[in-house]
Amino acid sequence: MTVPFATSARSSVGVEWELMLADGRTGDLVPRAPDVLAAIGAGADHERHTITGELLTNTIEVTSGIGDTVAAVIDDIADAIAQIRTVTDPLGIELLCAGSHPFAQWYDQEVTDKTRYHKLIERTQWWGRNMMIWGIHVHIGVEDVTKVFPIIGALATYLPHLQALSASSPFWAGERTGYASNRALVFQQLPTAGLPWPLTEWSEFEAYLDDMARTGVMEDATEVRWDIRPAPRWGTIEVRACDGMSTLPELAAVAALVQVLVEHFSRELDAGRELPVLQPWFVRENKWRAARYGTDARVIVDAQGTQRPVDEHLRETLTRLAPIAEELHCAREFAFVERILDQGGSSARQLLVADAADGDLREVVAHLIREFRAGPRRHDELAGL
């Protein structure tokens, strides 16, 4: 199977953000995405952003245009949220984002009426119906297809850092899970989801797709749901490992980190240097540790098995790659990663709220709603750095 990789500008960026719709009084999820999308109608047709439905009718996804800078695509996302609020605010519907909803139950949720979603649920059954998960996807342009899998392999060494930084799903269906990112372990139950296979060349990916299509596992590359995958249609590498970010500045920070890492690895290839690769068993262990412990995890950082606190290793990475962030005009967003490490990510904040409220998860949802409303003031937040 021949799969063309589209032409894209090097280190261009695009972002997708999956958002929950909740009742403003109870905090529970509401199946109102079809109503909201119908009300928006063609209003976004001439905008850079798009607003679409997802697997469940309690979810809306906002997608930026393609940008040269993180700031440009985050402005797209902020514009999309403002447009959605013109519909949701009068209806008493609130927006929020995290890797999971603290107390909603899967059996109360409705599946969007699309053939692809019905096929997914028919095949995956209980696990498919349990996909009450929300995430972000960050696309970074790669100008040469031969770079794609070497960069994906190197990015896998930073999957625990990205997963720990974004961890925001400590609760599941009303229970405290003991995991910073329960979403990470739930999502990998789907066929073709989870860690990427350790491929090195584009032809191996084409052979993989051929095998999967021939055996009826999938129809095309859009059904590859790896934590990091190539997106041939766009000419990008797409990082999908992160839980949903709870605020817009945090979304910007993670997007900047991904953009800088991809550009760094691309420059290493240009210089003829070999990119770092971990053994697959180390990559798998790192994913579990980050899901379990978040930014408190100790992760394996090299092929020799050296272990480091993930937050410490990430801070060193921020210092080392700061010049690239300056060149990509995302220095402020990139620096906000350290703010997350200093103040605690969403998972830690949710746990603090739950403890203060004697375990009342309605208070956690109210906290997430408040954070989401405050967070889109990206320029205010970042200007203070």
Closest Cα to residue 77, out of 105, 97, 92, 94? 97
Q: CA-CA distance, 112 to 109, in Å (whole number)?
A: 10
pLDDT value, residue 247: 96
Q: What is the pLDDT of residue 192?
A: 94
Specify if 284 maps to a domain: yes
Contact 213, 163 (CB under 8 A): no
- Cα–Cα dist 127/145, whole Å: 34
As a whole number, mean pLDDT of residues 173-195 equals 97
For residue 66, being part of any structural domain is answered with yes
DSSP 99-154: SS-SS--GGG--B-S-HHHHHHHHHHHHHHHT----BEEEEEE-S-GGGHHHHHHH
Query: What number of CA atoms fall less than 13 Å from residue 327's CA on the CB side?
Result: 12
Q: 290: domain CATH number? A: 3.30.590.20
Q: Give the residue from 193, 204, 221 showing the smallest Cα distance to 146.
A: 204
| CB 83, CB 43: distance < 8 Å | yes
Both tokens of residue 44? 């976004």
- Assess if residue 1 is contained within a domain: no
> Residue 236 forms beta bridges with which residues?
141, 231
Q: Which of 245, 258, 261, 249 is nearest to 336 (CA)?
A: 249
Confidence tier at 43 by pLDDT (50, 70, 90) = confident
User: Would you say residue 251 lies in a domain?
Assistant: yes
Query: Within 10 Å of residue 312's Cβ, how many Cβ atoms?
Result: 12
- The answer to whether residue 209 is domain-embedded is yes
Total domains, the chain = 1
Q: Which domain holds residue 227?
A: 13-383
Q: Are 168 and 346 in contact (CB under 8 A)?
A: yes
Q: What pLDDT shows up at residue 385?
A: 47
Give me the amino acid identity at 36.
V
Q: Is the pLDDT of residue 69 over 80?
A: yes
pLDDT of residue 378 exceeding 50: no
pLDDT at residue 46 in the model:
74
Please count the CA atoms within 13 angstroms of the CA of 213 that sit on its side-chain side. 14
Backbone angles phi, psi at 376, to 5 degrees: -65, -5
Question: What's the whole-number mean pLDDT along residues 278-297?
Answer: 98
pLDDT, mean of residues 258-284: 98
Cβ 243 vs Cβ 350: under 8 Å: no
Could you tell me if residue 5 is inside a domain? no
Distance CA 78, CA 248 (A): 8
Residue 4 inside a domain? The answer is no
Is 379's pLDDT higher than 80? no
Please give the model's pTM, rounded to 2 decimal places: 0.96
Per-residue confidence at 246, pLDDT binned at 50, 70, 90? Answer: very high
Residue 380 reports pLDDT greater than 90: no
Confidence of residue 270 (pLDDT cuts 50, 70, 90): very high
Tell whether 7 is covered by a domain: no
Residues 21, 88: Cα–Cα separation, whole Å? 9
Per DSSP, the residues of 315-369 read: HHHHHHHHHHHHHTT-HHHHHHHHHHHHH--HHHHHHHHHHHTTT-HHHHHHHHH
Decide if pLDDT at 45 tops 90: no
SS3 54: coil
Question: What 8-state DSSP symbol labels residue 278?
Answer: -
Six token digits for residue 115? 């053939």
